[in-house]
Amino acid sequence: MSKEDSGASSAEANPAESEISMGRGPRPRSFTGGGGGGGTGGSGGSGGTSGGNNLKPERSAREDDAINRLTDSKSSHRKLLSDPRFQIRPLQQVISACTGAMITACFMTPLDVIKTRMQSQQSPAHKCFFYSNGLMDHLFASGPNGSELASLRQRPQFSSSWDALMKISRHEGLAALWSGLGPTLVSALPSTIIYFVAYEQFKARYLQIYESHYNKSQEPRHLEIRDTKKSLPSVVPMMSGVTARICAVTVVSPIELVRTKMQAQRQTYAQMLQFVRSVVALQGVWGLWRGLRPTILRDVPFSGIYWPIYESLKQNLGHGSQPSFSLSFLAGVMAGTVAAIVTTPFDVVKTHEQIEFGERVIFTDSPARDFGKKSTFSRLTGIYRTHGVRGLFAGCGPRLLKVAPACAIMISTFEYSKSFFFHYNVRHHNEALLLDNPKDTTVEDDDIE
């Protein structure tokens, strides 16, 4: 073999070795020319050299661009949240959701206490059913046998939210503004954790399905790199939010029924067990999920609207792969406001159904067999005929004052916690890398977008 032949072979071997080092393996080559055969040594050698010069890989421009970015020493370290080495683990997601839930509850509980006190002074005793909690609304009963009735009658009348804040603080102390925080955390933390962790898991899964079936322009999946600045398809966060919300409310619905019954009538565990048996006997096992429909009615549409708006705002307003705390807060306020306004009619229907649910299931020893027969559409039309459009959007203002800040606090805290764990995973990766090879190149904070 001549020197030219060996040089050509060596030059063509390097790209294959480069691809093997990235785990891609050598690609098939097509030859537009070749050796002239064994006629004469000169012609054969000349033909071989010519064939070596015409040796070209069958590779698309898109794959060339992907490989160039990966082999670039600077951009190869810009590992974003999609890098499997740095991805936030499920346990870290649980901790992030739990942190956000507790902070949200601490900030929102005083507003809930004020709202509940003001509503209770205007409602008949047998219809005092309120949604108490800044995280995930749950039914709060204050009826004839409720523990709150006696104290409610002795409390002063409030003319405004500020008046309620001042009078509660003066007569009952500042601690009264956080009354019910313990039960709120116990009942709402499981729902919130399930909801946010499920959303993250479903989003990753749905995005993978979307890219593999509908987005043919994506880079090869084995590169494990995705441009997180590229707009996330709206269908992905929408379906993720809807699925996660259904999972969360389905899991906790029977627990919420039992908790509300015990809170309303201060029953013993033996009495509570008897109540569960009565519900199952009269309505079947699914009777334990009787409060599920009105909850899904409002929360599922809310999630389907909230998450696409939030993800779109986060990507369009942000400059990096990880949103800042202020950006998450602003996006949470805006998305929560829009979702709350659009779903207010469903919230009104849910309120009516929950009042009926309380009267016919919670405050009775014989739960009604025919509860829940009235359809959602019939309730909406009934409210419209009686009160008009204003009736469908009753309470929209107070709901916005509660939902918007609750969404903002929860999502910004959740995103900040995820960012903390992401950088923790990067540092942990660097430490393990340096232990194996002190001369290896680590991922610096400046390399993370």
Catalogue all structural domains in the chain, each as residue range(s) with its CATH number: 3-59 (no CATH), 90-427 (1.50.40.10)
Residue 145 backbone zone (phi > 0: left; psi -120 to 50: alpha; other: beta)? alpha
Q: 423: pLDDT confidence band, cut at 50, 70 and 90?
A: confident
What is the reported pLDDT for 371? Answer: 52
Q: How much of the chain, in percent, has pLDDT values that exceed 70?
A: 57
Q: Of how many residues is the chain composed?
A: 449
Q: 389: pLDDT confidence band, cut at 50, 70 and 90?
A: confident
Find the mean pLDDT for residues 273-291: 79
109-139 as b/e: b if 16+ CB within 10 A: bbbbbbbbbbbbeeeeeeebbbbbbbbbbbb
Which range (102-111, 144-153, 158-167, 359-368) has the least confidence? Answer: 144-153
What is the reported pLDDT for 28? Answer: 39
Phi, psi at residue 268, to the nearest 5°?
Answer: -80, 170
Q: How much of the chain, in percent, has pLDDT values that exceed 90?
A: 21
Euclidean distance between CA atoms 237 and 202, whole angstroms: 9
Q: Which residue has the tokens 């009538």?
A: 265
Among the listed residues 184, 193, 181, 202, the one whose alpha carbon sits nearest the alpha carbon of residue 95? 193
- Give residue-wise pLDDT tens across range 390-415: 888 887 887 888 889 999 999 999 99
Find the mean pLDDT for residues 110-135: 56
Q: 15: pLDDT confidence band, cut at 50, 70 and 90?
A: very low
Euclidean distance between CA atoms 175 and 345, whole angstroms: 34
Among the listed residues 394, 211, 219, 231, the one whose alpha carbon sits nearest the alpha carbon of residue 312? 231
Which class for 173: exposed (0-12), middle (13-18), buried (19 or more C-beta within 10 A)? exposed
- For residue 86, the one-letter residue type is F
Find the mean pLDDT for residues 70-97: 66
**Whether this model's pTM surpasses 0.85:** no
What is the reported pLDDT for 428? Answer: 83
Question: Do 109 and 181 meet the contact criterion of CB atoms below 8 Å apart?
Answer: yes
What is the reported pLDDT for 81? Answer: 54
| Other CB atoms within 10 Å distance of the CB of residue 206 | 18
What is the reported pLDDT for 339? Answer: 94
What is the reported pLDDT for 159? Answer: 77
What is the reported pLDDT for 49? Answer: 43
Average pLDDT, the chain: 71
Among the listed residues 332, 341, 356, the one whose alpha carbon sits nearest the alpha carbon of residue 410? 332
Tokens of 108: 């929102």
Q: 66: pLDDT confidence band, cut at 50, 70 and 90?
A: very low
Euclidean distance between CA atoms 336 and 191, whole angstroms: 18
DSSP 57: E
Among the listed residues 422, 419, 441, 420, the one whose alpha carbon sits nearest the alpha carbon of residue 430? 441
Find the mean pLDDT for residues 147-162: 58
Question: Do 422 and 86 meet the contact criterion of CB atoms below 8 Å apart?
Answer: yes
Euclidean distance between CA atoms 183 and 181, whole angstroms: 6
List of long-range contacts for 42-45, beta carbons under 8 Å, 24+ apart: 45/2, 45/4, 45/5
Find the mean pLDDT for residues 356-368: 59
Highest mean pLDDT among 46-50, 155-159, 325-329: 325-329
Give the Å distances, CA to CA, from 72 to 67, 77, 177. 9, 9, 57
What is the reported pLDDT for 433? Answer: 75
- Give residue-wise pLDDT tens across range 194-234: 999 999 999 999 998 988 887 554 444 433 444 445 568 89
What is the reported pLDDT for 69? Answer: 46
Give the Å distances, CA to CA, from 98 to 109, 242, 405, 410. 16, 20, 17, 10
| Other CB atoms within 10 Å distance of the CB of residue 32 | 10
11: pLDDT strictly greater than 80: no
429: pLDDT strictly greater than 50: yes
Question: Do 317 and 327 meet the contact criterion of CB atoms below 8 Å apart?
Answer: yes
- The residue ranking higher by pLDDT, 94 or 125, is 94
What is the reported pLDDT for 34? Answer: 42
448: pLDDT strictly greater than 70: no
Question: Do 33 and 54 meet the contact criterion of CB atoms below 8 Å apart?
Answer: yes
